[in-house]
Structure 1
Amino acid sequence: MNMSLPLALDPGTVVGGHYIIGPLINNGGFGAVYRGCDTTEGNRQCAIKETYDVTPAARRQALMEASVLFTVRSKHLPEVYDAFEDKGRFYLVMQLIEGRNLLEVLKSRVPAGTVGTAEPGRQQHGPCTEQEVLSWLLPIIEVLQQLHSRQPAIIHRDIKPGNILLTPDGTTVLVDFGLTKIEDPKRATQTLIKAVTEGFSPLEQYTGTTGPRSDIYSMAATMYLLLTNRLPPPALQRSYQDDLVAPRLLNPQISPQVEMALLRGLALYADQRFSSMSEFAEALTGSDYHEHDEPTIAVAPPSQHGYSGTQQPLKLPAPPEPDPLPYPYVPYGPQMQQMRPPVQVPKGRGQPAPGPAIKPGYGYVPMRPLPSASNQGCLWGMLQGVLGALLLISQTTATNFYLGIGLGCVFYLLSGLVTTWRGGSSLRGGLAGIWAGVVSTVTFWIIFLVALVVRLFNVLADYGGITSPEEVAAAWAKVYPPFLTLPTQVTGQAHPLLVFLGAGLVVAFLFGWIGGVLGNARYKAKRQQKYLP
């Protein structure tokens, strides 16, 4: 027992007035997690996280963790029930997740439970299969993409196997948001010691300048360990001498595609990694993976020159016979040691060794961004407005009026469907429907009023020109479209068009949202076929 840690609370202790402390689940230098129950919710089982430090900075961090989990709902994140302060300690009450973390899973699969020490050429397969690791971690990557897409971005900063739980039904849950940070590129993090886990923390995390790409490094390191049972060297050490072993030399069962994705995710410098979690997932799976409106780039397949790395040369032992790699592997060559820029590291650590830098565009092909709700709404709305106007210009009858309304509903649904066809919230479909409703209304009235004015002047010309107000009134009565009286008949309101316009926006949102639900369901079904066993 570590005597420097505060004493654990005794089972049966009551905190917050109605939470009963149970057995200790885990503890460390900054807090502890207990199993507990909430007596006001029918003795609901919960996890109670206790934070020892209640300084203003620590309290802000604990409240940030609570706020992140309060505002994000996913089965891959724990639900937060309560947050409070009691007797100089801060407590966070969360959903109790039953299961083992991935570090425990890894320990159960390696000889003598020794983690992170595998050597090249000594194993024919890794402790976890590629299919398992992708099915566990791709949903977590999707959740992180959502957090990173917020403005400002939310960064986890402590992704590692011990912070990912695997439930009995195979669902993975990302826990411990105690180091979560709201991205601010102009401000460095002050709590450097707390924010670093060797092997999983990227180089920039040692200086406190983290961003979304820092989580990409940590996720790639987590996958690397699970697939190979070898812990990546600490990033600070890699800045002097990069001894990172290529994954397939440790586990020949890893596909070349996944190896390339991991090596880029583990690039020492942030600007040489993937630009987003969705791009990382796309490289891992070799398929379209779009969850948000972001430009992404796709990784080209391995070339005859192998992996174009970003660090120093690796002196790697050859794989064992008779299992040569099925594609040419060229380790980092000496010709690539000229271009790496220096990195800022803490004083007294020396200077990083020179190394290569990736030239822009090496092996990547730009891809178009996912269509936005506004773009799709404007496109389908303009098309619907033109067709609706032409329909009523051809014959201004009540039948055509109702046909135009039905046509609009179809186009609202299509705008929502196409917007979420490759991912995103169904609410984006509703937003696309609103855009379609507004644009179709404006387009319709511009075209229809122009046609109405032209028709009025044609009638006046038949009368021999404008000779009196009575003739103008007679001409207007002749061209006045009958369908304009329908809103008054239906609503009985003094301003029927305003009522119809308001109702039209509601209908546009509903049909767009329905289209969004259909598109999102199709996207999730496609992902499940590709990613899950």
Structure 2
Amino acid sequence: MELDVRNEHKRAIPLNHHPDFSKQGYQIISELGRNREGGRITYLANVLNSKQQVVIKEFCFARADADLSGVKAYQREIEILQQLNHSRIPRYVDSFEIPGAFYLVQEYKNAPSLGLMSSFNPEEIKQIALSILEILVYLQKQIPPIIHRDIKPENILVDEQLNAYLVDFGLARIQGAKIALSSFVTGTPGFMPPEEQFGHSLTKASDLYSLGATLICLLTNTRSVEIGKLIDDNYRFNLQQLVPHISPRFRWWLMKMVERNRKRRYANAAIALKALGPIEVVGSATGIDNLIRKIIPRKRATLLGLATVVILAAMGATLMSCQPGNTVRQLLEATECESFDLNANCQEKTGN
């Protein structure tokens, strides 16, 4: 489902072209964006007799066969928004309908979409990642957990302080809810996790894949519609080639986020958030970083003895503060740790 893009520089539409919502208590200020194929238009409006500004999202159904799915998406988004209370999820305000259209009213956040903003440096992208992960932690703590299902640049708003806001819950589902096969195609290609494309159950790790793909778009300054250019013939992101300017540890973190096998990703947003916190996103590889990068892709049995010799010779037996005797095992399983920090204890595994 495409987000109604907020474009502050969009040419103003004459006031007489806007619908009249005065009976509902709102006055349209401007059009923020529209999705013609989806039959959706988003407006910025004032609440009458108030200084409050809101976003009014219109669901207009031009085709009879689109009514049922459109109504369900509208109802689902309202139901989910009504149960959420997070400062960086625009809250539900109101809803109403007129013949042929439904309207959802939400809190307005004065922040542009990532789909419209200029490039960010890696440090700023990390801050955006942390901000979105905090929202996902909140969603995943709901009972039952909520899976957004459509995380991409257009559905993330970011203000000048790099606070991120997550919008468009039209595809969101509670974990464990059955999803009709026809709904799979409504996600955004390139951002959908592989398990969703093939009809497997969604987990707390599913939104992490979409967030990882979003961050890779930001790091490579790639538009969402061109994400296919970042995926190789094996349907994977080649991060070594795409983002050579980031630190190895940040690259490892991203690789785990976009693992095609959901069981090899971080198990949930809380673990991914904790892992990302201490990671420096820029910097050259150290000798031990290069060693790990060479060891990890190979078979463990073949290189176990070699790794032991190299590590003991170069670094000594006290390389890490993990449990005694586990140095080589921890090194080989570096990408399975929440945060591979050589100056601190190894974190717990992701629970995969």
Instruction: State the TM-score, normalizing by the size of structure 2.
Output: 0.68
- Displacement of 1:267 in angstroms is 0.8
Deviations 1:275-334 (A, max 9, x none): 0011112222237xxxxxxxxxxxxx9572417469xxxxxxxxxxxxxxxxxxxxxxxx
The one-letter code sitting in structure 2 at the alignment partner of 1:200 is F
In the TM superposition, 1:101-500 aligns within 5 A as: 101-105=113-117, 108-109=118-119, 128-184=120-176, 187-195=179-187, 197-209=188-200, 210-230=202-222, 232-233=227-228, 241-242=234-235, 244-246=237-239, 248-286=240-278, 302=289, 304-306=291-293, 308=296, 363-364=336-337, 367=348
Match of 1:11 among 18, 26, 49: 18
- Displacement of 1:360 in angstroms is 9.2
Runs of at least 5 residues in structure 2 that lack an aligned partner in the other structure: 1-13, 280-287, 299-331, 338-345
CA distance in 2 between partners of 1:194 and 1:12 (Å): 28
Which residue does the alignment assign to 1:38?
47
Contact 2:130 2:277 in 1 (8 A): no
- Displacement of 1:226 in angstroms is 0.9
Secondary structure at the residue paired with 2:176? Answer: coil
Secondary structure at the residue paired with 1:66? Answer: helix
The one-letter code sitting in structure 1 at the alignment partner of 2:291 is Q
Higher relative contact order (CA 8 A, sep 6+): 2
- Displacement of 1:199 in angstroms is 2.0
C-alpha change, 1:12 and 1:164, in structure 2 (3 Å) is same
The one-letter code sitting in structure 1 at the alignment partner of 2:99 is K
- Displacement of 1:234 in angstroms is 8.2
Contact 1:103 1:162 in 2 (8 A): yes
Secondary structure at the residue paired with 2:79? Answer: helix
Secondary structure at the residue paired with 1:140? Answer: helix
Secondary structure at the residue paired with 1:212? Answer: coil
Contact 1:233 1:243 in 2 (8 A): no
Contact 2:56 2:106 in 1 (8 A): yes
CA distance in 1 between partners of 2:109 and 2:347 (Å): 40
C-alpha change, 1:98 and 1:36, in structure 2 (3 Å) is same
Secondary structure at the residue paired with 2:103? Answer: strand
CA distance in 2 between partners of 1:245 and 1:74 (Å): 35
Contact 1:62 1:178 in 2 (8 A): yes
Secondary structure at the residue paired with 1:92? Answer: strand
Which residue does the alignment assign to 1:82?
94
- Displacement of 1:84 in angstroms is 1.9
**Aligned pairs, number:** 276
- Displacement of 1:169 in angstroms is 4.1
CA distance in 2 between partners of 1:199 and 1:101 (Å): 18
- Displacement of 1:223 in angstroms is 0.9
- Displacement of 1:34 in angstroms is 0.9
The one-letter code sitting in structure 2 at the alignment partner of 1:83 is S
CA distance in 1 between partners of 2:297 and 2:17 (Å): 52
Secondary structure at the residue paired with 2:185? Answer: coil
Which residue does the alignment assign to 1:73?
85
CA distance in 1 between partners of 2:336 and 2:19 (Å): 60
- Displacement of 1:83 in angstroms is 1.5
CA distance in 2 between partners of 1:309 and 1:278 (Å): 26
Deviations 1:429-453 (A, max 9, x none): xxxxxxxxxxxxxxxxxxxxxxxxx
Deviations 1:67-96 (A, max 9, x none): 322322222111221022222211110112
Deviations 1:152-176 (A, max 9, x none): 2211111111111122443221111
CA distance in 1 between partners of 2:214 and 2:247 (Å): 17
Runs of at least 5 residues in structure 1 that lack an aligned partner in the other structure: 1-7, 110-127, 288-300, 311-358, 370-533
The one-letter code sitting in structure 2 at the alignment partner of 1:280 is A
CA distance in 1 between partners of 2:155 and 2:148 (Å): 11
Match of 2:104 among 83, 86, 92: 92
Secondary structure at the residue paired with 1:104? Answer: coil
- Displacement of 1:137 in angstroms is 2.5
RMSD: 3.2
Secondary structure at the residue paired with 2:182? Answer: coil
Contact 2:130 2:276 in 1 (8 A): no
Which residue does the alignment assign to 1:508?
none
Deviations 1:131-159 (A, max 9, x none): 21122231221111121222322111111
CA distance in 2 between partners of 1:254 and 1:362 (Å): 16
Secondary structure at the residue paired with 1:55? Answer: helix
CA distance in 1 between partners of 2:90 and 2:115 (Å): 18
The one-letter code sitting in structure 2 at the alignment partner of 1:206 is Q
- Displacement of 1:36 in angstroms is 1.6
CA distance in 2 between partners of 1:66 and 1:185 (Å): 17
Match of 2:33 among 26, 31, 37: 26
The one-letter code sitting in structure 2 at the alignment partner of 1:19 is Y
CA distance in 2 between partners of 1:17 and 1:251 (Å): 50
Instruction: State the TM-score, normalizing by the size of structure 1.
Output: 0.47
The one-letter code sitting in structure 1 at the alignment partner of 2:212 is A
CA distance in 1 between partners of 2:290 and 2:275 (Å): 15
- Displacement of 1:266 in angstroms is 0.7
The one-letter code sitting in structure 2 at the alignment partner of 1:306 is R
The one-letter code sitting in structure 1 at the alignment partner of 2:98 is D
Match of 2:56 among 22, 44, 48: 48
C-alpha change, 1:205 and 1:80, in structure 2 (3 Å) is same
Farther off after superposition, 63-72 or 145-154: 63-72
Q: Quick one: percent identity of the two aligned structures?
A: 26
